[in-house]
Amino acid sequence: VADRYEPQLVKPVEETLPPTLEVLLRDEDAIVRHTKSFAILHEVSQRIQREHDPKEMLANVLDLILEVTRATRGYVALLEDGQLRIEVTRTRGPRAQTQAQAISQTVAEHVMERRSCVICTDAAADARFQDAESIFLSDIRSLMAVPILVSDRARGMIEVESSHTQARFTEHDLDLLSVIASTVGVSLDNLEMAQRLVRSEQMAAIGRLATGIAHEVKNHLSPFMLADMIAKRYPGDRQIQDASEMMIEAQQHIFDLVNEIRNFASGTGSSYTMEPTDLAELVERVSRFIKCDATVRTANVVLELEERPMVIADAKGIRQVLINLIKNAADALPERGGRILIHVKTRDRQAILDVTDNGRGIPAEAQARVFDAFFTTKGTKGLGLGLDISKKIVEAHRGQLGFRSTEGKGTTFRMALPLAD
């Protein structure tokens, strides 16, 4: 694979800045070159302004980059949770390859860690990239890559590749790409800020809505107190005692729920009362109560209380987590043969609670998003807040909430809480 050793270029981002007006006025060649760049940058900013979706915006800009640098293909990768992931890939020309692209670790290191712009010609032969498997495999003739910087932080990178030996990238191409990348960085930031704004608007709206509902709900809940009266009237009737207990519990739960949503939306967080709590007993109470729920009712709910660990917890918080997990499980179940298994045990100084269902499972592409606020696959039937709230509650207990799921087979959500000493 390795033929000739070609020169290459590594340039710190700072050195790719466009020349100052003063320099330009002294150098006529530079004026000609930069007029072209100016036209290109103008087009970049047009494309950026036209798009409100970050991914579309990146794709449009990348198309333009491929066109003006005569590259065969390219990609934009963004840093997410410490991982560089390819957001968009584009190809150009008749020989456009559809082959999946891999990020070269070597290039990424130059670009992301040293914040340099690189051109590499005949990469396979370039000593610096010798061990980069990804370059060998995809037979790249030359590539250039630049960081996307946002206030001095590398948020990602743009890389373009050319498979013809003739069409080599020049230093001027590199400078231009670097400037485009910085424009892209700023607009990415803006788009994300706009999205955050929309989100906080949504939160505020939910807060207002919840406050309104809370007020109404409280008025209409008072008849529930009759349950207590009836229970006192028939002290010997087991069924009435149970029903009344459930009604009062339901009433309390509605109050808690509305308060939780209000706290969540106002960003104040919840106030927890941490007390030694018997997790198994909590599970027993919740499962008795939730069996009245329309969707849970048709399921076969089985408790396996292997141990009865004591945890320091806010009972109403954990109860809410349990209800969310059990309701999610019930929602995923098939019409018939649905089963929910709730298992409690202790492992490594932690109380472990598993809620397992034999439902439809969570598709791979949804798995990363289930804990996101407003992520739901239930249309208008779900707000997509259940797991987001649950995770916050569990983390406030210094516990963990996670899951394992196989599509078509079922899902297990696991809550781990530190044991009370």
Ligand X SMILES: Nc1ncnc2c1ncn2[C@@H]1O[C@H](COP(=O)(O)OP(=O)(O)OP(=O)(O)O)[C@@H](O)[C@H]1O
Stretch that binds ligand X, among 139-147, 248-256, 297-305, 324-332 (CB under 6 A): 324-332
Q: Which does 282 bind (CB under 5 to 8 A by kind): Mg ion, ligand X, none?
A: none
Gap between the Cα atoms of 69 and 144, Å rounded: 10
Cβ 396 to ligand X shortest distance, Å: 17
Residue 293, token pair as written in the block: 């729920």
200 token code pair: 């906080």
Nearer to ligand X, 314 or 357 (CB): 357
DSSP string, 313-370: E-HHHHHHHHHHHHHHHHHHS-SSS-EEEEEEEEETTEEEEEEEE-S----HHHHTTT
Cβ-contact 365, 380 below 8 angstroms: no
* Residues in CB range of 296: below 8 A, 6 or more apart: 290, 326, 327, 330, 340
Strand (E) or helix (H) holding 162: strand 153-162
* Nearest-angstrom CA–CA distance, 95 and 73: 10
Q: From residue 350 to residue 389, what is the string marking binding to ligand X with x (rule CB under 6 A)?
A: -------x-xxxx---x---x----xxxx---xxxxxxx-
Instruction: Closer to Mg ion by CB, 350 or 377: give it.
Output: 377
Radius of gyration over every alpha carbon of the chain, rounded to an integer in angstroms: 29
Q: Which of 89, 106, 328, 390 binds Mg ion (CB under 5 A)?
A: 328
Cα first-last separation, the chain: 63
Place of tokens 């309104």: 212
Interface characters, 368-387, with Mg ion (x: CB under 5 A)? ------------------x-
Q: In whole angstroms, give the CA distance from residue 324 to residue 330.
A: 10
| Minimum CB distance to ligand X smaller for 72 or for 270 | 270
List Cβ neighbours of 32 (8 Å cut-off, separation of 6 or more). Answer: none
How far apart are CB 333 and ligand X at their closest, in Å? 9
Judged by CB under 5 A, the stretch of 78-86, 109-117, 327-335, 409-417 that binds Mg ion is: 327-335
Query: Which residue lies nearer to ligand X by CB, 128 or 343?
Result: 343
359 binds Mg ion (CB under 5 A): no
119 φ/ψ sector (left φ>0, alpha ψ -120 to 50, else beta): beta
Interaction partner, residue 173 (Mg ion, ligand X, none; CB < 5-8 Å by kind): none
> 3-state DSSP call for residue 234?
coil
Binders of ligand X in range 250-289 (CB under 6 A): none
Minimal distance, residue 368 CB to Mg ion, in Å? 17
String marking each residue 58-97 x if it binds Mg ion according to CB under 5 A = ----------------------------------------
Report d(CA 323, CA 311) in Å as an integer: 18
Pick what 357 binds: Mg ion, ligand X, none; C-beta below 5 to 8 Å, kind-dependent. Answer: ligand X
Number of residues that bind ligand X (CB under 6 A): 23
The residues that touch ligand X, with contacts defined as CB under 6 A, are 324, 328-329, 332, 357, 359-362, 366, 370, 375-378, 382-388, 411
The residues that touch Mg ion, with contacts defined as CB under 5 A, are 328, 386
